[in-house]
Chain A
Amino acid sequence: MIRRRFPWLSYLVVVTGAVLTVVPFLDMVMTSFKGAGEAGTLPYRFLPEAFDLSNYRAAIDQLDLPVLFRNSVIATAVITGSVLLTSSLAGYALAKLRFPGRNLIFRLVLSTMMFPPFLFFIPHFLILVHWPLAGGNDLFGRGGAGLTVSIAALAMPFLVNGFGIFLMRQFMVSIPDEVLEAARIDGAGEFAVWWRIVVPQTRPVVLTLGLLTFVHAWNEYIWALLISTANPDVMTLPVGIQLLQDYVDPTRTMPIVMAGLVLSILPVLIVFLLLQKYYIRGMMLSGLK
């Protein structure tokens, strides 16, 4: 191999970079074990004096991690399930069914990807505030807090994803029409064709899209921050750990926060490490987010 010259230099660079990447994570874990007066004091020490789990207990109690965890799980599950279902259904229609307006709708789906998320924070929030007949609102969306105080608000703006539809459609186009036609001749309705033939064939892309959506939803911060400010009961993990750090034992705020963060990123890290092949393919397809 001609390219494989100076492997030691390459190793040096790659290992140095990897250390720089991993060290903040290690610092987070180490800090999560440090006791009162051990973190943030001079001189800096990397290792804790003892690997004490009391910060983890404090994080669970003082940050109320179980509740935060529950909210994060609900929001993430609803978003991921909805994105997969709606993307698969719409993708199938756009790839395999013939109907007037198909190209127009496909173009609409493509154009949705053009709009950056920050454009929607204000109108989405105001639309949920003024949602008719919810949260004390009248028919014209006046009088109450609308849907912003409900846990549904965490998920609502993310229930459908244009990129997800696009991804599914691109994948489904390559399913041979003959297979679908054969099922139809056997008397299967379109729903049965979708559920029995198309869904099983799209498992890899379902996994990819599901993983991308899961990681994104679990880590979502800005929108959840807005909704949690209106109603602390629906706070998610990232928001809770950020906002509640002023309320934990001040002599070891950082260790408790770090313990909470370690627990909150573990689910994503485990899923990512197990299914990274699918995640990385998704990142390639979405062209770097």
Chain B
Amino acid sequence: MVNALTTATTERAAPRTRSAGPTVDRRARARRRQVVVAYLFLAPALLFFAVFLILPLGFALLLAMSRWAGFDLGDIQLLGTDNFTGLFADGSTFLAPILTNTLLFALGTVVLALVGSVVVATCIDNLRFQGLWRTLYFLPIVTTVVAVGNVWKYMYEPGGLVNGVLNALGLSSVAFLQDPDTALPSVVVVHAWASVGSAILVLTAGLKSIPESYYEAAALDGAGPVTVFWKITLPLLRPSLLLVCITQFISGLQSFALIIVMTAGGPGDATNVAALEMYRQAFSYGHWGPASAAAFVLFMVVLLVTLVQLWIFRRKGEDA
């Protein structure tokens, strides 16, 4: 999502061939017509952004600073920053465990997906039929979260596949999603499983851009495969690794569909994350103000990570 901002947006000023002559008047008319046409072409998009982007942002900000019971818009009562301070007040569950869970969820996903994708991508790079393997790893990404969540929920059950494997190995069953200690890590594993394919995609592209001559030079110097991996592959893969890290972290901070399907935030608040809390406060309890405030707090966290990403990539660009 955010990375699109960093990809080249430079625009070449297209020089237009212009022949001076008696047709100047006609050209001026044509140019005026182009302005009208341009705005006609842009009208649907601009109208949409006005109604579904700018208006909602303003409305959400207003709600975040108000008390409102729903129903009549005339009843909105301006409060100032009370909803925000309320989130961080004593006894509020927002900071701990909810925001802590959010960060742990995002961090856990990044670590698992990163390790998994680096290992698999470097191995795929050594094989034939790379496209086939990539497709296989990509299947979870095009699958609806309802399917992913339900299958894994079922696999985590006492009579499910995961416990079946544990039992076959002589280990006792684990109540993965029911035990508050294992619930969050269990959901993290599923989220990492579902997102590792896109990380592999980015990393295989990164690996392709490493010149073969580096490997040849290393081989001439007698470097072993482990040395080559640590001294050549990993350092030259750094831009791709960074991209994977940050985009996965951002997506981990916001995602809650999987959690709704698998645990609904439970047991207790063990798997409750900020976006889910916002959703429930709003649509289950009608606490529109606090819910909107929570959304903006999470947005600030996401924005911070995004800015760090932009800053790192911009600095990289200057180095090169």
* Residues of chain A at the chain B interface (Cβ within 8 Å): 1-7, 9-11, 13-14, 17-18, 20-25, 27-28, 31, 39-46, 85-87, 89-90, 92-94, 97-100, 102, 105, 108-110, 112-127, 130, 140-142, 156-157, 159-160, 162-163, 165-166, 170, 173, 177-178, 181, 184, 189-191, 194, 215, 218-219, 221-222, 225-226, 229, 237-239, 241-242, 245, 254, 257-258, 261, 264-265, 268-269, 272-273, 276, 279-280, 283-289
Asked whether A163 lies within 8 Å of B202 as measured between CB atoms, the reply is no
Query: In the complex, which of the residues B52, B142, B143 has the most CB atoms of chain A within 10 Å of its own CB atom?
Result: B142
Asked whether B39 lies within 8 Å of A99 as measured between CB atoms, the reply is yes
Set of chain A residues within 8 Å of B12, measured between Cβ atoms: 173
Set of chain A residues within 8 Å of B38, measured between Cβ atoms: 93, 97-99, 102
Return 6 A-B CB contacts under 8 Å, by A number. A27-B154, A113-B4, A165-B45, A221-B260, A261-B144, A279-B142
- For residue B146, CB closer than 8 A to chain A, the reply is yes
Q: How large is the interface on B (under 10, 10 to 19, 20 to 34, 35 or more residues)?
A: 35 or more
Set of chain A residues within 8 Å of B248, measured between Cβ atoms: 288
Asked whether B144 lies within 8 Å of A238 as measured between CB atoms, the reply is yes
Set of chain A residues within 8 Å of B315, measured between Cβ atoms: none
Asked whether A288 lies within 8 Å of B243 as measured between CB atoms, the reply is yes
Q: Which residue of A lies closest to B72 (CB)?
A: A142
- For residue B57, CB closer than 8 A to chain A, the reply is yes
Asked whether B124 lies within 8 Å of A14 as measured between CB atoms, the reply is yes
Task: Report the minimal beta-carbon distance from B167 to chain A, rounded to whole angstroms.
Answer: 7
Asked whether B44 lies within 8 Å of A118 as measured between CB atoms, the reply is no
Asked whether B41 lies within 8 Å of A18 as measured between CB atoms, the reply is no
Q: Which of B84-92, B103-111, B156-164, B174-182 contacts A (4 or more CB under 8 A)?
A: B156-164
Asked whether A289 lies within 8 Å of B154 as measured between CB atoms, the reply is no
Asked whether A276 lies within 8 Å of B5 as measured between CB atoms, the reply is no
The 10 closest A-B pairs by CB, nearest first: A44-B164, A287-B3, A123-B56, A160-B48, A10-B123, A219-B144, A238-B146, A99-B38, A93-B41, A97-B38
Asked whether A127 lies within 8 Å of B257 as measured between CB atoms, the reply is no
Given contacts A22-B136, A105-B42, 5 further A-B contacts (CB under 8 A): A14-B123, A114-B303, A124-B56, A191-B37, A219-B144
Q: Which residue of A lies closest to B232 (CB)?
A: A3
Asked whether B140 lies within 8 Å of A21 as measured between CB atoms, the reply is yes
Q: Which residue of A lies closest to B197 (CB)?
A: A21
Asked whether B1 lies within 8 Å of A159 as measured between CB atoms, the reply is no
Query: In the complex, which of the residues B44, B116, B205 has the most CB atoms of chain A within 10 Å of its own CB atom?
Result: B44
- Interchain CA distance A288-B46 in the complex, whole Å: 26
Asked whether A93 lies within 8 Å of B42 as measured between CB atoms, the reply is yes
Q: Which residue of A lies closest to B44 (CB)?
A: A86
Asked whether A43 lies within 8 Å of B164 as measured between CB atoms, the reply is yes
Asked whether B154 lies within 8 Å of A40 as measured between CB atoms, the reply is yes
Task: Report the minimal beta-carbon distance from B179 to chain A, rounded to whole angstroms.
Answer: 18
Known: A14-B120, A110-B5, A287-B243. A123 touches B57 (CB 8 A): yes
Asked whether B4 lies within 8 Å of A272 as measured between CB atoms, the reply is no
Known: A2-B218, A18-B136, A116-B302. A92 touches B41 (CB 8 A): yes
Set of chain B residues within 8 Å of A45, measured between Cβ atoms: 164
Asked whether B2 lies within 8 Å of A261 as measured between CB atoms, the reply is no
* Residues of chain B at the chain A interface (Cβ within 8 Å): 1-7, 9, 11-12, 14, 16-17, 30-31, 33-35, 37-39, 41-42, 44-46, 48-49, 51-53, 55-57, 59-60, 63, 72-73, 116, 119-120, 122-127, 133-148, 150-152, 154-155, 157-161, 163-164, 167, 193, 196-199, 201-202, 205, 212, 215-216, 218-219, 225, 243-244, 247-248, 250-251, 254, 256-257, 260-261, 275, 278-279, 282-283, 288, 291-292, 295-296, 298-299, 302-303, 306
Q: Which residue of A lies closest to B59 (CB)?
A: A123
Set of chain A residues within 8 Å of B123, measured between Cβ atoms: 9-11, 13-14
Known: A287-B4, A288-B3. A221 touches B145 (CB 8 A): yes
Known: A13-B123, A28-B151, A287-B7. A112 touches B198 (CB 8 A): no
Task: Report the minimal beta-carbon distance from B164 to chain A, rounded to whole angstroms.
Answer: 3
Q: Which residue of A lies closest to B116 (CB)?
A: A17
- Interchain CA distance A66-B63 in the complex, whole Å: 39
Asked whether A99 lies within 8 Å of B119 as measured between CB atoms, the reply is no
Asked whether A288 lies within 8 Å of B73 as measured between CB atoms, the reply is no
Asked whether A7 lies within 8 Å of B35 as measured between CB atoms, the reply is no
Set of chain A residues within 8 Å of B120, measured between Cβ atoms: 13-14, 17
Partner of A99, one of B35, B141, B160, B292: B35
Asked whether B292 lies within 8 Å of A122 as measured between CB atoms, the reply is yes
Set of chain B residues within 8 Å of A2, measured between Cβ atoms: 212, 215-216, 218-219
Known: A22-B136, A92-B41. A122 touches B63 (CB 8 A): yes
Asked whether B127 lies within 8 Å of A11 as measured between CB atoms, the reply is yes
Set of chain A residues within 8 Å of B296, measured between Cβ atoms: 119
- Interchain CA distance A214-B57 in the complex, whole Å: 26
Set of chain B residues within 8 Å of A108, measured between Cβ atoms: 49
Set of chain B residues within 8 Å of A4, measured between Cβ atoms: 126
